[in-house]
Structure 1
Amino acid sequence: MSHVVEAVVLDIEGTTSATGFVVDVLRPYARERLGTLLAERADEPRVARALAGARTELGEPDAGPARIERALVAWLDEDRKATPLKTLQGVLWAEGFARGELVPHFYGDVVPALRCWHAAGVRLYVYSSGSVDAQRAWFGHSAEGDLRTLVSGWYDTANAGPKREPGSYRTIAADTGIPPDRLLFLSDHAGELDAAAAAGWRAVGVRRPGEPHHGQDLRGHAEAGTFDDVDVVGGGA
């Protein structure tokens, strides 16, 4: 089935990139460095905002760095989509990518497809639970070069909303100015596909062997094993 669309919106974890890279490489990297970041750089604006956000989420306005570190590590271990944690992870990962200590993972079919779609006039956006800073760093330091020029916009749960809520997809559609039925969302999670479809989007489930949601019932959504199986046709005005 061909998808005549103006834009493709990309999930990252399990879709463009392996969940195992996040779990086995990125999270331990952040875990080891959170304490130092909080202790030595608490006055930096992004870190200070994250600290304030963590205190609000905890309901503990006087929580110190040690208490916040314990909370952040607990949230990290449970994969909680907490904005303060995502912000601080984004800071650490961006610096790790920039120093070459980390190299983002992309499945082999992804980058050629993105370049092909972009060349055909299809706009590309990213919508991930990871912070926008982390997304930019991820796409900016790929093994195949800086991919940020392919991407027209970045969305996370802080600026768009939860990924399993239709309202988040309405927010993105309004921000891009693209009619919902001209947007295609690629994700490995049925709940996210459901939310996108409920907002009037097209949605395709990406099933990659070895990913946590590979065997999940996609509840009637179109499926693809790789991006090569997604037939995208540019349909811009």
Structure 2
Amino acid sequence: MTIRAIVTDIEGTTSSIAFVHDVLFPYARARLAAFVTDNADRLAAELQAVRDAAREPALDVRGAIEQLLEWQDEDRKIAPLKTIQGMIWAQGYADGSLIGHVYPDAITGLQRWHAQGLPLYVYSSGSVAAQKLLFAHTAAGDLTPMFSGYFDTAVGAKRDAASYRTIADRIGLSAAEVLFLSDIAEELAAASAAGMQVTLLARDTPDETSAYPVATSFDTILPEQVTA
């Protein structure tokens, strides 16, 4: 079936895993305590969400900070943590301390598909706000005009087939008309179970045993034959 939209993961797919884990996460962690302390009033909703998620209704600001740091160290996908990280990153992108990393071949591929009229979407465990920040502040400039929409775990877990059915419904296409790109086989399994077409990005170590089509870069994914 003709592919009529592409949904891409970020970490390990369009962007380096090292950028997320070695740049973004440490940047947020180093600034989290001061940021929450200085902005406790405007973060009231997020701090309440921390208490709710931790099941600690009496948690004060200091306790919430400790909980947030613990979640970050455990790489937990907790909504208030993701929101606060995104706010910290927003400051870093705004003052030039952070530059979003996107592989050159991913930029070229996205530009090619966008020029062909193919709608592009992002689905990542990072918040939609964080996704937009990364793509808006790359060395190649603002890439966000190429995207038709963004999805995060508010639609469901990335290893749950129902999440991909929800995404297809929101895009307004049958799942079979959507191509999902990721470097994680379990995510591809979920997308495939939902009916999507899938491709595994194996940039560093090509996986010859994969049950799914494999690409080492965006250059070889639908280079010519896309019909929107």
TM range, smaller chain: over 0.9
1:62–1:218 CA distance, 2 compared to 1 (3 A): farther
Equivalent pair of 1:6/1:183 in contact (CA under 8 Å): yes
Aligned-residue offset at 1:167: 0.7
Does 2:109 align with 1:109?
no
Task: Determine which of 141, 153, 157 is the counterpart of 1:162.
Answer: 157
Counterparts of 1:52-131 in structure 2, within 5 Å, are 52-131=48-127
Does 2:141 align with 1:145?
yes
Equivalent pair of 2:183/2:200 in contact (CA under 8 Å): yes
RMSD, aligned CA: 1.6
Identity of aligned residues (%): 45
Aligned-residue offset at 1:217: 8.1
Q: Which residue of 1 aligns with 2:13?
A: 15
1:217–1:93 CA distance, 2 compared to 1 (3 A): farther
1:166–1:234 CA distance, 2 compared to 1 (3 A): same
Q: Secondary structure at the match of 2:75?
A: coil
1:102–1:218 CA distance, 2 compared to 1 (3 A): farther
Query: Aligned partners of 1:235, 1:219: CA distance in 2, in Å?
Result: 26
Does 2:227 align with 1:235?
yes
Aligned-residue offset at 1:231: 1.2
Query: Aligned partners of 2:61, 2:213: CA distance in 1, in Å?
Result: 46
Query: Aligned partners of 1:151, 1:52: CA distance in 2, in Å?
Result: 33
Q: Which residue of 2 aligns with 1:194?
A: 189
Aligned-residue offset at 1:42: 2.0
Does 2:167 align with 1:175?
no
Q: Deviations over 1:189-226 (max 9, x none)?
A: 011000000100001000011xxxx5778741110000
Query: Aligned partners of 2:106, 2:52: CA distance in 1, in Å?
Result: 38
Q: Deviations over 1:145-172 (max 9, x none)?
A: 11110000010012x1110000111111
Aligned-residue offset at 1:52: 1.7
Query: Aligned partners of 2:208, 2:9: CA distance in 1, in Å?
Result: 18
Query: Aligned partners of 1:176, 1:28: CA distance in 2, in Å?
Result: 34
Aligned-residue offset at 1:62: 1.6
Which amino acid in structure 2 is aligned with residue 221 of structure 1?
Answer: Y
Task: Determine which of 222, 225, 229 is the counterpart of 2:216.
Answer: 225
Equivalent pair of 1:5/1:184 in contact (CA under 8 Å): yes
Equivalent pair of 1:139/1:148 in contact (CA under 8 Å): yes
Which amino acid in structure 2 is aligned with residue 164 of structure 1?
Answer: R
Aligned-residue offset at 1:56: 0.9
TM-score norm. by structure 2 comes to 0.95
1:78–1:217 CA distance, 2 compared to 1 (3 A): farther
Give the paired residue count.
227
Query: Aligned partners of 1:103, 1:31: CA distance in 2, in Å?
Result: 17
Equivalent pair of 1:123/1:152 in contact (CA under 8 Å): yes
